Every structure is written in C-alpha cells, then in structure tokens.
Amino acid sequence: MAKTKELSKDTRNKIVDLHQVGKTESAIGKQLGLKKSTVGAIIRKWKTYKTTDNLPRSGAPRKISPRGVKMITRTVSKNPRTTRGDLVNDLQRAGTKVTKPTISNTLRRQGLKSCSARRVPLLKPVHVQARLKFAREHLDDPDEDWENVIWSDETKIELFGKNSTRRVWRTKNAELHPKNTIPTVKHGGGNIMLWGCFSAKGPGRLIRVKERMNGAMYREILSENLRPSARALKMKRGWVFQHDNDPKHTARATKEWLRKKHFKVLEWPSQSPDLNPIENLWRELKVRVSQQQPQNITALEEICMEEWAKIPATVCENLVKTYRKHLTSVIANKGYITKY
C-alpha cells in the first residue's frame, strides 16, 4: 500500500477552524479537496488531544541501548577497521544480541558509513615531519609566489579501465545494453605515459613518453619542453620549477643539469602527491578523455593532447589560488595525506 502524503500543519488547523464554525466533515472535505475520512480523523484527534501536532509514534525499542551505541561508536572511532562481526561479538559479550544489519543501521544514525579505504602513499614519521615543515614554512608565502611556480608531473592514462568509469541512467535489466556499458579488454588494452606542466596562467606542454623513462630521457624532456612552456605561459623572471622526489628527478646528473641551466627548483617533501595541484589537472584530463571513449592508443594520445589544450586557464588559476588553504589542511591533518 502506497504511503499517503502527510497534511501540512496549516491544513490540519484549517480543518479544525472550519469544524468549529459548524461545517460538516463532508463540506470541509469538498472545500479542501480531502477525503471525508481524513477530515474526520483530524477532528477526532483534535477532540481527544486538543492539538493537531504529530504525536509520538509507538514502535519497537532500539535493540542497542544508548550505552551500547556509545560503546560501538567509540570502538570504530579508535579503530575504523573494526568489522561488524567484531562489534556483534562485543555486544554479545555485554549481553546484547544483534545482527550485522542492526550494527550498520545504528552506526549510520551516528553519521558513520562503511566505505572502501582509500589507498595513499606510505608515510613514515620522517615523511610526516617533512610535510609539516614544508606546509608551515610556506603557509604565509604571498599568492604571487605560487603564481610564479611551474608545476610538473607524470601520469599514466589507460585506454580501457578504471579511468573510463562512468555512471549511466538506465532502466531495470538494461545494464548490458551497449548504450549502458563501457568496453573493456584483457590487461586494460594498453596505456600511455604523459609528462606535463602548468602554472596559474594555464596548461604548459604535454608530451607522451614512449619509452621507459630514465634520468637521461627526463633531462631531455625538460630541455625540450620546460623553458618553452615558461615562455608560452609568460612566466615572470625568477620563476620556480616544481617536481617531486622521483629518483630520476633527484639524480646527481639531473640536479647538476638544472643548476647549469639556472633553473630555480622548489624543495619538495617526499611522498606528497597531494601537495601538487597538477594531480587535479590529471583528474580533469582523465574525465575529459573517458567521455570521448577512444578506441585505440593513437586516438587516446590525440584526445589527451586536444583535451589538455582545452582546459581553461581559470581552472589552473583557481588551483593555485587555493594552495594556501590546502597547506592549512595539511597542518590541520598533522602532516598526513589530505584531499586537495
């Protein structure tokens, strides 16, 4: 049986007002477009309880007492990896027998939901301290300093696979209709590796890395693309280059090459992809590419280049503008990985 829509308080009060001036239940129902039985129920309730407000509804008592709720909430707060089975056993030892769904419903009412744990870089204490040091030292840097940084990174984009995930609106039992599926092949169907850079003024160059990158290849990429990107982005004198602590980036030969070319390099804490705003651009690019649904590696590369060039400069500008806020989050999160 379908659930009927509850009458508003104004409508219930109007029914009582009309009843008090002598109107019949039938007349009130016709005037307000309601069933006579509905009008009668409201009037009887008013006569009995002298109110049209909703009364407390009876129902089965909660299986888990307030004390039990506090206990399991405290347990999962201390150890989020606690299973529902563990909590069922804890409560049973305390004299309360419940099922796993009851545990889920109870915790959901406390604002806790079971989710897949996110995979993040392993942070050792030395990494955490380095991240905190970086955030604190740069927290008060003026926005102009961040606008003068060229951010860089490499990423892998798959032809078919997790990068192509999309949601669809469909009817029941239509999940296998071609319109509602994403084609996949074994082993992902191949992928391409990209190197790219950007600044607050917009995307820089994006190139495909066709072979396994080593230090020599990385220096060649920088030689051919870094300064041209800076010129295209009209960077001010003294601009700063950012890259992470990948061994190719920190190799002695690479450091010496950067020094000879007079590139100013931003000192970077290890294990800190979340501190690099280019990660957001990679996500933007992957979403754009997946919407095009390239069918082969050649098309994948072409679409990557086209969509990278289409990313508005305002997107890049906003990423850099919010960088100080992100550093604040890193400090608030005590140096651990945080969402950009």
247: pLDDT strictly greater than 60 = yes
Report the chain's mean pLDDT, rounded to a whole number: 89
Domain ranges for the chain, please list them: 9-49, 66-110, 125-333
How does residue 181 score in pLDDT terms, banded at 50, 70 and 90? Answer: low
Query: How far apart, in whole angstroms, are the C-alpha atoms of residue 253 and residue 153?
Result: 19
Average pLDDT of span 163-182: 62
pTM of the model: 0.71
Query: How far apart, in whole angstroms, are the C-alpha atoms of residue 121 and residue 244?
Result: 13
Query: How far apart, in whole angstroms, are the C-alpha atoms of residue 173 and residue 175?
Result: 6
Long-range pairs of 133-138 with CB within 8 A, sequence gap ≥ 24: 133/269, 134/267, 134/268, 134/269, 134/272, 134/275, 135/275, 135/327, 135/328, 135/330, 135/331, 135/335, 136/331, 138/327
Residue 120 is predicted with a pLDDT of 84
How does residue 282 score in pLDDT terms, banded at 50, 70 and 90? Answer: very high
131: pLDDT strictly greater than 50 = yes
Nearest C-alpha neighbor of 106 from the set 57, 66, 60: 66
Q: Which CATH superfamily is domain 125-333 in?
A: Ribonuclease H-like superfamily/Ribonuclease H (3.30.420.10)
Residue 90 is predicted with a pLDDT of 93
Listed in sequence order, the residues at least 6 apart from 198 whose beta carbon sits closer than 8 Å to its beta carbon are: 150, 151, 204, 278, 281, 316
How does residue 53 score in pLDDT terms, banded at 50, 70 and 90? Answer: confident
84: pLDDT strictly greater than 70 = yes
Average pLDDT of span 69-91: 92
How does residue 19 score in pLDDT terms, banded at 50, 70 and 90? Answer: very high
How does residue 119 score in pLDDT terms, banded at 50, 70 and 90? Answer: confident
Residue 331 is predicted with a pLDDT of 96
Average pLDDT of span 324-328: 95
CA atoms within 13 A on the CB side of 147: 11
Q: What is the CA radius of gyration of the chain?
A: 31
Ranges of beta strands (E only) in 142-290 are 149-158, 191-199, 202-209, 240-242, 264-265
